[in-house]
Amino acid sequence: MKAFVYREYGTSEVLQLEDVAVPEPGDEQVLVRVIAASVNPYDWHHLTGKPYLVRLMAGFRRPKEPTMLGADMAGRVESVGSAVTRWRPGDEVFGMRSGAFGEYVVCGQDRLARKPANVTFEQAAAVPMAGLTALQSLRDKGKVKAGQQVLIIGASGGVGTLAVQLAKAFGAHVTAVCSTRNVETVRGLGADRVIDYTGEDFVHSGHRYDLILDGPGNRSIRDRRRVLARNGILVMYSGPKKNRWVGPLLSTLRVSLASSFGTQKMTGMMTSNSKADLDLLGQLMAQGKVTPWIERTHPLVELPRAIDYVGTGHARGKVVITIG
Answer for the pair 278, 132: CB distance below 8 angstroms, yes or no.
yes
- Among 201, 209, 203, 164, residue whose Cα is nearest residue 186: 164
2-126+292-322 and 130-268, same CATH topology: no
Res 250 pLDDT > 60: no
Least confident range from 50-59, 138-147, 239-248: namely 239-248
Answer for the pair 49, 88: CB distance below 8 angstroms, yes or no.
no
Distances (CA, A) of 204 to 97, 201, 217, 320: 42, 6, 17, 36
According to DSSP, the residues that pair with 121 across neighbouring strands are none
- 130-268 CATH pick, 3.40.50.720, 3.20.20.220, 3.30.750.24, 3.40.50.300: 3.40.50.720
Write down how long the chain is. Answer: 324
Q: Domain limits of the chain?
A: 2-126+292-322, 130-268
- What pLDDT is stored for residue 85 in this prediction? 95
pLDDT per residue as tens digits for the range 151-182:
999 999 999 999 999 999 999 999 999 999 99
pLDDT per residue as tens digits for the range 186-225:
999 999 999 999 999 999 988 999 999 999 888 888 999 9
pLDDT tier, 52 (very low <50, low <70, confident <90, very high otherwise):
low
CATH superfamily of 2-126+292-322: Medium-chain alcohol dehydrogenases, catalytic domain (3.90.180.10)
pTM above 0.75, yes or no: yes
For helices 128-136 and 158-169, give the axis angle rounded to 10 degrees: 50
Q: How far apart are CA 123 and CA 282, in angstroms?
A: 10
Amino acid at 243: N
- What share of the chain in percent tops pLDDT 70? 92
Res 261 pLDDT > 80: no
Q: Which helix (H) or strand (E) holds 185?
A: helix 183-188
pLDDT tier, 64 (very low <50, low <70, confident <90, very high otherwise):
confident
Q: How far apart are CA 32 and CA 184, in angstroms?
A: 37
